[in-house]
Amino acid sequence: MYGSIEESGDLSVAWLNMNEWRGNSLIPEACRECIMSSVCRGGCRTEAFVHFGSLSSPDPYSNYKRPLLRRSPLKPPSVNSDSKFVFQPKLRNRQEVFGGILFLTPRKWVPVDKLLYNFFNTIVNKEFDINVFANALGVMPDEAVPTAGTLLRKEILVERR
């Protein structure tokens, strides 16, 4: 379904085919308001599939009927053309075949493709804006905003004021 490392000899093939696992589309509807959904991601997707036939069903061993509700919705970080960023100074990194891992803590890390990993390595400790970021990724600035927002939320990027 996602690709065999044994057949291709390359983890990046399977990694790229598993985009849905990294997004929010597989988080069960019953879990989306829970304050822990960004951490537990709705529990085990494979258990959900085995028990209910769908990767986006609730984990059968979870307490999804009693979610921990947020007092107020999380506000996504605002990113605009005036925003200035720097990569977190305490960030560690590791090169991988698909790009690399940018790591701050066990809960604040991201796998990144080669473009973003190379950008990180060329701009360490330097301030940049969304236009420079978008150019490095080969996309338009508005297309780079969600990625910048995710990196801000995980504190991989820090906004400079």
Instruction: Give alpha helix (H) positions in 23-74.
Output: 37-40, 45-52
Among 74, 103, 126, where does a domain finish? Answer: 74
Q: What is the mean pLDDT of residues 130-151?
A: 90
Please tell me whether residues 4 and 67 are part of one structural domain.
yes
Question: How much of the chain exceeds pLDDT 70, in percent?
Answer: 90
- Domain boundary residue among 12, 44, 74? 74
Residues 6+ apart with CB under 8 A from 1: 17
Host domain of residue 48? 1-74
- Are the C-beta atoms of 150 and 137 separated by less than 8 Å? no
* Domain at 122, CATH number: 3.90.930
Confidence of residue 94 (pLDDT cuts 50, 70, 90): very high
Please give the mean pLDDT across all residues of the chain: 84
Tens of pLDDT, residues 37-64? 777 888 888 888 998 999 998 888 877 6
Whether 79 is in a domain gets the answer no
Where does 52-96 show beta strands of DSSP type E? 84-87, 92-96
User: What is the total count of domains within the chain?
Assistant: 2
